[in-house]
């Protein structure tokens, strides 16, 4: 089920060349991420927009864009999970051999990211993305989105909307802490591709039609949230697993902004999307090499 209630496209052929994924996009009124200071502000709400996140450059881009559009934004930033804790948790589910292969692949991807910095930089410059958090944005550090400290902060702030980007799975106690809707940004077609690197896995599985971005309600249960906006995304031969999230952010951030505007104005329109769902983990080193060498999916 395609949901194109509101979608955006890249201005002209900004990413150039032939795309790996679907090249179909719907029209828009302005290129994504071209912020306009003269744009009218949304109606005033009872509380601020709160962003739940684990931090990082993509989350900083999201926070900066939301602050530019909505004014007061408060970031509740959770501590990242300790690497050893994450490895042990995955190993209990997947086995040590597979998890060690994932760790090795993560290290390779980190090294590859150095090579693609010019590509990422060009994307950021072309679309006004700022990976350095604006110092005027208030940041509160929390251990986890599922702690009492987070719930207390939410109750104190009484947000109009809670946006979520790159955070842990949120438990019901936090979701019930305030009446505001929790709106998540996901760099994939939700709920079919959950977890890590959804764009990469859609290509690796031969499903470029399922490369995209989704903005959805976060509700109790994994993969149960209803969809607000969803759009297909196409990559170019220049792109790989290190640049996919940045291309997707260009498409997804205007959709997240639109969903928050809808929530603030009381016209939010969630829809059920019925499709098979699976949680994906990072590729192993040998799996990544196989898809790259055999199919050109890196």
Axis crossing angle, helix 117-127 with helix 96-115, rounded to the nearest 10: 70
pLDDT at 30: 32
Second-level CATH architecture of 49-295: 3-Layer(aba) Sandwich (3.40)
Query: Exposed, middle or buried: residue 168 (CB in 10 Å: 0-12, 13-18, 19+)?
Result: middle
Q: What is the pLDDT of residue 178?
A: 96
How much is the pLDDT for 208? Answer: 95
Which stretches of the chain drop beneath a pLDDT of 70?
A: 1-46, 222-224
Between the CA of residue 186 and those of 7, 190, 202, what are the distances in Å? 15, 7, 14
Residue 53 and residue 57: Cα distance in Å, rounded?
A: 11
The answer to whether 119 and 125 are in contact (CB under 8 A) is: no
pLDDT value for 46: 67
Tokens of 79: 């501590």
* Paired sense of beta strands 49-53 and 161-165, if any: parallel
pLDDT tens digits, 207-224: 999 999 999 999 887 666
């Amino acid at each position: 089920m395609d949901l194109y209630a509101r979608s955006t496209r890249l201005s002209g052929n900004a990413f150039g060349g032939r795309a790996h994924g679907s090249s179909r996009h719907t029209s828009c009124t302005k290129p994504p991420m071209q912020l306009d200071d003269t744009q009218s502000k949304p109606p005033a709400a009872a509380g601020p927009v709160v962003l739940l996140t684990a931090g990082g450059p993509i989350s900083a881009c999201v926070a900066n864009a939301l602050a530019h559009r909505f004014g007061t934004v408060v970031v509740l930033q959770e501590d990242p999970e300790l690497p050893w804790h994450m490895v042990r948790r995955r190993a209990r589910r997947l086995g040590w051999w597979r998890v060690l292969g994932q760790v090795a692949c993560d290290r390779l991807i980190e090294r590859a990211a150095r090579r693609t910095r010019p590509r990422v930089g060009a994307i950021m410059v072309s679309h006004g993305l700022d990976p350095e958090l604006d110092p005027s944005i208030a940041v509160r550090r929390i251990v986890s989105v599922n702690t009492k400290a987070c719930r207390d902060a939410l109750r104190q702030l009484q947000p109009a909307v809670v946006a979520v980007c790159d955070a842990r799975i949120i438990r019901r106690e936090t979701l019930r802490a305030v009446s505001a809707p929790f709106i998540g940004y996901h760099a994939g077609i939700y709920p079919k591709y959950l977890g890590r690197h959804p764009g990469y896995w859609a290509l690796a599985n031969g499903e470029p039609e399922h490369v995209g971005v989704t903005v959805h309600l976060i509700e109790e249960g994994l993969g149960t949230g209803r969809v607000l906006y969803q759009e297909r995304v196409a990559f170019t031969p220049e792109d790989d697993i290190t640049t996919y999230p940045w291309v997707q952010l260009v498409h997804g951030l205007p959709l997240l902004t639109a969903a928050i505007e809808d929530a603030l104005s009381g016209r939010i329109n969630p829809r059920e999307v019925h499709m098979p769902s699976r949680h994906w983990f990072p590729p192993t080193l040998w799996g990544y090499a196989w898809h790259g060498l055999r199919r050109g999916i890196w």
